[in-house]
Structure 1
Amino acid sequence: MSVAVSRDLTVQVSQDTNVVKLIDRQQALRSAIQRGEPKCLGVSQVMLGLMVMSYSIPLHFTVLTEVVNLGVPWWSGLTFITAGAVAIVLDKHGTMKILRVCLIASGVSTVLSVVAVIIYSVDINRNPESPCVKTPHASCNEEHYASTLSRGLKSSLLLFTLAQTVISVIVCFLLFRQRRNFGQYASLTQAASSTTSFSPTELN
């Protein structure tokens, strides 16, 4: 840091070279984050969350099983949407603080996705499709169609949740790598401003 005193006794503190280096590292962090396309991954997470929640609505009108009773599509879908929204914010504001929040949200999303996949798999295994019992109108009974619809919807939800698990793992990997590379510059936002002026009265 260099100091210059003008004729009116105003002291000018020039920009510190270390601050310049830190600012360059912050810009490099933002560029690295944007290369990972967090916005695209975040939009994918939000869309999957909305699809999971919308596909689960018909389940409430069929056979109520563990998936519906535990509200799996709802809390998993909300988790996906939250993680995706944070990833979109990270793309716009690439700071270490938001990166840590996004990393935590993606980690929670990954864990809950795995839990949801287990619940879907167990539920599908425990509730097989009901056999078709012919009615006088030469069609199957309503229970058969309800169980078939329920099983098909749960299979779709299982696929969506598996896709979400993969996306969350990818986001966690990318963010963890960037956090490790740029973690030492976390205090960058507290760096000094480029030029600071002091009047003579402030020096006394």
Structure 2
Amino acid sequence: MAVAVNRDLTVQVLADANVVKLMDSKQALRAAVQKGEPKCLGVSQLMLGLLVMGYSIPLHLTEHTEVVWMGVPWWSGLSFVIAGVVSILLDKYCNMNHLYACLVTSVITTVIAIMAIIVYSVDIERNPATPCIKQMYDNCDDKHYATKLSKGVKSALLLFTLAQTTISGVLSFLLFRQRRSFQIYNPLNQDAISTQAVVSADGN
């Protein structure tokens, strides 16, 4: 905080140049982050997470395979929901701390989505739909319909997870680029805080 004394002995408090620069950087950061539309991507992540968990319910009514045993739709869907909520909050509370949190969450979600894709692919390969065995009235046996339903649901979950991987990867790239662009303002933030602390100590 700077103070100027006029000739008539009036005191004028001037704005600290560091604080002004910091405010400008925050506004620039908000504009840059909002340009990447983290809120829209966050809503997409949130909806995909809910879809994954909702679509996985029929799997519990069919033959249990690796996907159900490992609970893949639940922990992957929950990670998608958390990543979506954090991305939405970044749009509201746009600062470096939230940007770091959103970046870490997006990277972790991308890794989790890749793991889920591997499990879905292996499960679909190991558990194909059984051949149709004709019974009375030319209908197939129940096991054929159950395995066909299971494979269809897992294929849909695989597509949802692929979409989530793309969204999380794109968001991670955008946030990483913004972090590198505005990393220079971290020392500025610390200088502004230390300046305010010194002024407060002198005032006491």
Q: Same fold (TM over 0.5)?
A: yes
- Map Cα deviations across residues 151-196 of structure 1 (whole Å, 9 max, x no partner): 000000000000000000000000000000001213566636xx9x
| Match status 1:65 vs 2:76 | no
Assess if the C-alpha contact under 8 Å between 1:5 and 1:12 holds in 2.
yes
2 CA distance for matches of 1:44 and 1:203?
50
Instruction: Give the aligned partner of residue 132 of structure 2.
Output: 132
SS in 2 for 1:140: coil
Q: TM-score, normalised by structure 2?
A: 0.89
The Cα RMSD (Å) is: 2.7
Alignment of 1:162 with 2:126, yes or no, is no
Q: Could you say what secondary structure the match of 1:63 adopts? A: coil
Partner of 1:47: 47
SS of alignment partner, residue 133 of structure 1: coil
Is 2:182 aligned against 1:182? yes
* Uncovered stretches (5+) of structure 2, i.e. residues with no partner: none
Shift of 1:120: 0.1
* Aligned-residue offset at 1:27: 0.4
Deviations 1:83-133 (A, max 9, x none): 000000001111000000000100000000000000000000000110111
- Percentage of pairs with the same residue: 61
User: Using the alignment, how far apart are the partners of 2:85 and 2:79 within structure 1?
Assistant: 10
Secondary structure of 1:132's match? Answer: coil
Q: How far off is 1:138 after superposition? A: 1.6
Q: Secondary structure at the residue paired with 1:53?
A: helix
Post-superposition shift, 1:13? 4.2
Q: Structure 1 pair 10/80, CA: closer, same or farther in 2 (3 Å)? A: farther
For normalisation by structure 1, the TM-score amounts to 0.89
Question: Are residues 21 and 147 of structure 1, via their aligned partners in 2, closer, same or farther at CA, if it must alter by over 3 Å?
Answer: same
Q: 4+ runs of 1 displaced by more than 6 Å? A: none
Q: Distance in 2 between matches of 1:144 and 1:26?
A: 59
Q: How many residues align?
A: 200
- Structure 1 portions without partners, runs of 5+: none
SS of equivalent residue, structure 2 residue 41: helix
Q: Is the 8 A contact 2:116 2:161 kept in 1?
A: yes
Quote the Cα distance in structure 1 between the aligned partners of 2:103 and 2:18: 28
Contact 2:43/2:84 (8 A) holds in 1:
yes
Whether the 8 Å contact between 1:63 and 1:147 is mirrored in structure 2 is yes
User: Which gives a bigger RCO, structure 1 or 2 (Cα 8 Å, sep 6+)?
Assistant: 1
Q: Distance in 2 between matches of 1:153 and 1:58?
A: 8
- Give, as a single letter, the amino acid of the residue that structure 2 aligns with 1:160: F
Q: SS of 2:183's equivalent?
A: helix
Cα distance in 2 between the residues matched to 1:10 and 1:52: 67
Secondary structure of 2:4's aligned partner: strand
Aligned partner of 1:73: which letter?
A: P
The residue aligned with 1:105 is 105
SS for the counterpart of 1:3 is: strand
Evaluate the alpha carbon distance shift between residue 178 and residue 147 of structure 1 in structure 2; reply closer, same or farther with a 3 A threshold: same
More displaced 10-residue stretch of structure 1: 178-187 or 76-85: 178-187
Match of 1:151, SS state, is helix
